[in-house]
Amino acid sequence: MTRLIIWRHGNTDWNAESRVQGQTDVPLNDLGREQARAAAPVLAALRPDAIVASDLRRAADTAAALAAVTGLPVRTDARLRERHFGRWQGLALTEVAERFPDDFARWRAGDPDPGAGIENLDDLGKRLGAAFRDAADLAAGGTVVVTTHGGGARQGVGHLLGWDHAVLRSVGSLANCHWTELRHDDVRGWHLRAHNVGLITQPALTDAV
């Protein structure tokens, strides 16, 4: 049985401002660093065998908090980056709604390819799903913690589980520094064991931010 823990990064100033991050390399803020430090001992108690992180600072620095507790190195994988949000990156969601009303409406409705240079959800799911599988292969039969981003996490999980977009839209986003637990065995394949687990109940911001 292989256990995969998919951990969303801690809070950033852009999260707090509802500003679209996408693949912009925004660092953790003080709250995000504290969230990572608080969650690290809980995840360390799961006895991870490997840690893999997106190379964007907010994810890599979140993973570093767990590495400091476990002594494990952090491997980085650029495939674990957040969805690319094209011309929206750096804009507040209110600005997006004003400047790109048609694309924004399609995105809100769940269109997998809403325009504005935004990465297609199918491509995102395949990218993250492949990275998740490779991470899990680092410790087959053990536990791997993967630190990534909200939108990427959901689509990658959906890809592994074989869920379509309609099903994924009914699954809530991960809150900052919360995680999803998947397990894999030769009989059942990938299956979901827990979702949005964390220390403090908090609203999950939209995947774009």
User: What positions carry a catalytic annotation?
Assistant: 9, 82
Half-sphere exposure of 183 (CA within 13 A, CB side): 8
- By CB atoms closer than 10 A (0-12, 13-18, 19+), residue 159 is buried
Q: Is 99 annotated as a binding residue?
A: no
Q: Is 14 annotated as a binding residue?
A: yes
Taking a C-beta distance cutoff of 8 angstroms, is the pair 133, 1 a contact?
no
Q: Is 3 annotated as a binding residue?
A: no
Q: Is 117 annotated as a binding residue?
A: no
Q: Is 11 annotated as a binding residue?
A: yes
Q: Is 196 annotated as a binding residue?
A: no
Cite the beta strand spans of 34-138 per DSSP E. 50-53, 74-76
| Residue 164 DSSP code | -
What's the one-letter identity of residue 7?
Answer: W
Q: Is 15 annotated as a binding residue?
A: yes
Q: How far apart are CA 135 and CA 209, in angstroms?
A: 24
Spatial strand order of the sheet with 189-197 comes to 74-76, 50-53, 143-148, 2-8, 179-185, 189-197
Binding site as annotated, residues for substrate: 8-15, 58
Binding site as annotated, residues: 8-15, 58
